Chains A and B, each alone.
Chain A
Amino acid sequence: MTIYLNNAATSYPKPKCVSKACAKAIKDIPSSAFRGGITGYDAFEEARALLAELTGIQNKDRVILTQNATAAINTAVFGIGLKDGDTVLTSVTEHNSVLRPLYELEKRGVNIAFTSCDDTGRINADDFTSKAACCKPKLCVFTHASNVTGAVNDAAALAETAKENGSLVLIDASQTAGLYDLSALSSQADMIALTGHKYLLGPQGIGALCISGEIKPKPLLFGGTGALSELKDMPDETPMRLEAGTGAEPAAAALASAIKWSINNPPDMKKLNNLCLYLKEGLKACGAKVIEPEGDCCPVISFVLNGITAEDCGYILNEGYDIICRSGLHCAPLIHKYLKYNSGGTVRLSLSRFTEKKDCDEAIKAVKEIKSAYMKANGIQI
């Protein structure tokens, strides 16, 4: 039986209502046929309203539905009009969804400054404060939680520091949406990017940029909006200004369904944290070097084993034990040299609310066997 411990990439399983909502949206007459109004069900409107509530955004029309968090981040960083000589402050813990857009900006003359992190992947707040004061960035963009170690940052405090220095703030909440309360962040952050397919339990192919401030990003895509068709320019009003083209209605319906399900079935964070602790202790007992952030942490566990590469260990777990996990750099290439155990990548086990203790037991047993096999192969007494 397959054990799925790759929820930080994409959550699995989903509540049953998610696939039902998706299928229904495909079977039903598309809502675009009705061009708005109050009589027809509008999956996009419902998804925006639910995401606005989730992120504490007052106006649901400031929730821009995107293909994923990457598209949301691109919409933000390329849309706010950064110029040659401006500075963006970010962190070494970022996913490539943040880093690569910033590297592209760098080619266009924007300076990129990096804040360091501690050896568990949490952004160094003192360094952030110092760099924000020194660089006077136009934009600060940082992750709410590391996708490698799960360490949750004090995003409200970092955002406050950024605002004190006159910066716009973009928070990547891909790892925390669906797990942590984001509603307070919108009072500090100008924009929150998130994705639907991780802990929000929605499908792949939908994310959002939630804009709380007055800023009006320029569109990256130009095209039909289903309204104001005689205009040559994209309309001024959001969300249509930033949502050119036909949207992913089945994905929006499925995401809305997932969020509603989650409102009625909130994650038991205490249970999830205890399960993570149990798994960490079990992994350490069999010789794994586990990265253990203190305080708030997503259900993400990164570890390495001496004598075996993360890639090989991940491969054996996946193929030899049917334990689906991720190994390597996790699309966050800069964080690894700062971590307590830097071996050019980690094995990452990421749990969800559906993970059971027996799944953790199987993972611990497998890691123990892998460790044992490698020690024997290397002639080490066990």
Chain B
Amino acid sequence: MEYKYKKTNNCFNDAETYEYKTSYTNEQLSGFFASLGSYSVNYKFKKPIFYLDMSDKTNVKGVMGDSFFKASFFNDSPNAKRNFETRLANEKI
């Protein structure tokens, strides 16, 4: 899967947050996200939002109908971003 990403603002020093844009909605990527860790969707909000917590503390969230999402990588998992992006790049829908 092709994607673009950009670093976003984050108040805290312990993590770096990036926004990723793909050609798919997050709804379409739900299977992929679910394969990465603890995945849940909250449908109570005006726009449903998904959350993904991975074992390396990476957390991902986004609006189900959007084609972009945010991922926060914690500094104590230095390979987390690379691992996540490898899996995202290898994902075929």
Identify the A interface with B (CB < 8 A).
311-312, 315-316, 319-322, 328-331, 344-345, 366, 369-370, 372-373, 376-377
Contact = CB atoms under 8 A, between A and B. Distances in A.
A366 B46 contact: yes
Contacts of B71: none
Contact of B11 (A312, A328, A369): A328
B47 A321 contact: yes
A252 B11 CA distance: 31
Contact of B62 (A319, A321, A344, A370): A319
Contact of B63 (A319, A373, A376): A319
Contacts of B47: 319-322
Question: Which one of B46, B48, B63, B66 has the greatest number of beta carbons of chain A within 10 Å?
Answer: B46
Interface of B: 10-12, 42, 44-49, 61-63, 66, 70
Contacts of A322: 46-47
Question: Top 10 closest A-B pairs, CB basis?
Answer: A328-B11, A320-B45, A373-B44, A329-B11, A320-B47, A321-B46, A320-B49, A319-B63, A373-B42, A320-B46
A331 B12 CA distance: 10
> What is the interface of chain B mostly: helix, strand, loop, or mixed?
loop
Contacts, number: 44
Given A328-B11, A329-B11, A345-B11, A315 B61 contact: yes
A316 B11 contact: no
A90 to B, nearest CB: 20
B49 to A, nearest CB: 5
Nearest to A372: B44
